[in-house]
Amino acid sequence: MTQLHRHTILNTTDSLFYVQFAQMERQLMKFVDRVKAIDGSGDLNEISSEYTTIRAHTADLNRSSGFTTEAGKLKDNIKKNRYKDILPYDQTRVTLKPLKTESESDYINASFIQGTTGNKRYIATQGPLSHTLGDFWRMVWQYDIKVIVMACRETELGKRKCERYWTAPTETSIFGPFTVTNLEECSPNDEVVTGIYW
């Protein structure tokens, strides 16, 4: 039986994370301003060209640094990737331990990220798919994750970005072998903060 732990899900950035996200937010706002300026002119060629250049540069860096994404390309794992072109590096990917049998897959589209100070590490993962919700909660449980920050909405511009891995307030849901209960939900600003047990 899984032990119950008190955890918090932040569906967007919370003020506690403001310092860490401030620089990223400034860069994002610069990008948004550029897109707005280009959108007004109707010329998206500049953004498209820049995207192509970044993709090519990233591929060159990956080749020269030795980073590989073979696990994410395996036949059994392809269906666990939300996006076919966003795969975790084999060298930094999160591996799952089996719960029931040794033949259980160790794959989840998630990577360890080094923190900016000390030896603190974080996990970045794609928004889970309906059939990877159990893997998502297995990762949360196995790595004793205390805070989850969701940096997208469930649906954006009509596209599904993330399956709902939490429950409605005061309700309980089962995700694979994990029972998740929503204890409370509040919206102090634009974000939604959910307190849960699993």
In this predicted model, what pLDDT tens digit does every residue of 43-91 receive, in sequence order? 667 777 877 888 888 778 777 888 899 999 999 999 999 999 899 999 9
pTM (whole model) above 0.75? no
Extents of the domains making up the chain:
6-197
CA angle 93-26-129, nearest 5°? 35
Q: How far is CA 66 from CA 39, 89, 95, in A?
A: 38, 10, 19
Q: What is the pLDDT of residue 43?
A: 63
Q: Which CATH architecture has domain 6-197?
A: Alpha-Beta Complex (3.90)
Q: Which of 86, 145, 139, 152 is nearest to 121 (CA)?
A: 145
